[in-house]
Amino acid sequence: MDHLDERTVRFLESCQGPDAKEKKIRFMDETPWIGHGAVETIWNKMEEILAHPRTHRMPDLIIVARSNSGKTTLLKRFAKLNKAELDEETGELYAPVIAAVMPHDPTEILFVNTLLKTVQLTVKKTDSFPNKLEQLYNALERIDCKVILVDEIQHIGVGTARQQHLIVNMMKNISSVLQLSFIVAGTPEAINIFSFDEQFQSRFRPAVIPPWSANEEMDSLLASFEAVLPLEEPSNLASDEMVRYILSNTDRTIGDIFDLLRAATKYAINKGHRKLTIPVMEKCDHMSPKAKEEEKKKIF
């Protein structure tokens, strides 16, 4: 089992008995963290921003990728590794990084409410907006926040031009007054969110997670995935034939690629196969982009 990482080898060695199949399937439901070139580059930029000294012009980052490309997982992992800590001597909470999701139909009030809940403050309906904003500023300063992560930033574009300006201006003011950074993520539509404010836009370095294609990085990604699949024999996922099949039957995002491999692995486990093959992947419960389009045509 040289194709597997140590954790997976240990799991397979301990996975015995009549419920072995069920254990393997549960193991597959644990989404692994697979680093790769584009994500590792973005991760380094995020760490640089967190380490940046406070100045009146803080650096910001906008991560742009198609849905299911791993941007949400990236933000969650960064937040988890930089989670809040309680000073036992003073009782003060220190939270260098907080994470929020932009509301679907955002206004500046809804966004402030979201941030207040993120810093665990009760949102009172009777509080005026200026009062809520003051509470937010005080809370962010008290916890010594340095970075605010905001996922689904493209939702800002749903609002009216006035609502968009109000939210972006509020973010700009928070960044300037408290000398903290925003790291935001969204779909390609998000790239123009800050375009009306050239000064603020210039702070946001774009970082793109591109779709996958047949190259050495793709081979490395598939080898990393193969190392965590609980299958006793090598599947040679990085072979030319396998790469062509995987790229042709997914939307070329890391999420959909793993969804295919997970579904195929579960099918293989249930059928007693010890590796993945193209026939196994063809029979598993995963829909290719072409198949999804065909299903949509049936509806519309």
Give yes or no for residue 121 having a pLDDT over 80: no
- Answer for the pair 187, 207: CB distance below 8 angstroms, yes or no: no
Give yes or no for residue 69 having a pLDDT over 90: yes
Q: How far apart are CA 258 and CA 58, in angstroms?
A: 36
Q: Angle, nearest 10°, between helix axes 240-248 and 216-226?
A: 90
Q: What percentage of residues in the chain have a pLDDT greater than 90?
A: 75
149 φ/ψ angles, rounded to the nearest 5 degrees: -95, 130
Name the band, by pLDDT with cuts 50, 70 and 90, for residue 87: confident
Tens-digit pLDDT profile for residues 2-20: 899 999 999 999 988 889 9
For the chain, give the longest Cα–Cα distance.
64
Which residues share a beta bridge with 214? Answer: none
Q: What percentage of residues in the chain have a pLDDT greater than 70?
A: 98
Q: What is the mean pLDDT of the chain?
A: 92
Mean pLDDT value across residues 137-162: 95
Q: Give the residue with greater pLDDT, 38 vs 173.
A: 173
Q: How far apart are CA 56 and CA 53, in angstroms?
A: 10
Comparing 24-33, 42-51, 78-87, 235-244, which segment has the lowest mean pLDDT?
24-33
Looking at residue 80, its pLDDT comes to 94
The structure tokens listed for 76 are 């969650």
Instruction: State the residue for tokens 């590796």.
Output: 275
Distances (CA, A) of 285 to 253, 267, 288: 18, 8, 10
Which domains are delineated in the chain?
6-30+212-291 (no CATH), 37-209 (3.40.50.300)
Looking at residue 25, its pLDDT comes to 92
Q: How far apart are CA 222 and CA 170, in angstroms?
A: 42
Among candidate residues 278, 269, 270, 275, the one with its CA nearest the CA of residue 244? 278
Instruction: State the residue for tokens 């991560």.
Output: 63
Q: With 0-12 CB in 10 A as exposed, 13-18 as middle and 19+ as buried, what is 185?
A: buried
Q: Are strands 181-186 and 60-65 parallel, antiparallel or unpaired?
A: parallel
Mean pLDDT value across residues 240-253: 96
Distances (CA, A) of 98 to 92, 229, 286: 16, 33, 35
Mean pLDDT value across residues 201-214: 92
The structure tokens listed for 287 are 């829909």
Which residues share a beta bridge with 184? Answer: 62, 150
Which residues are CB-contacts of 273 (< 8 A; sequence separation ≥ 6)? 231, 267, 280
Q: Rounded to a whole number, what is the distance in angstroms from the first to the last CA of the chain?
A: 48
Q: Which long-range contacts (CB under 8 A, 24 or more apart) does 74-78 make?
A: 74/39, 74/42, 74/43, 74/185, 75/99, 75/149, 75/151, 75/183, 75/185, 77/33, 78/43, 78/46, 78/149, 78/183
Give yes or no for residue 105 having a pLDDT over 80: yes
The structure tokens listed for 257 are 């690629």
Looking at residue 300, its pLDDT comes to 61
Q: Give the residue with greater pLDDT, 86 vs 43.
A: 43
Q: How far apart are CA 226 and CA 231, in angstroms?
A: 9
Q: How far apart are CA 46 and CA 43, in angstroms?
A: 5
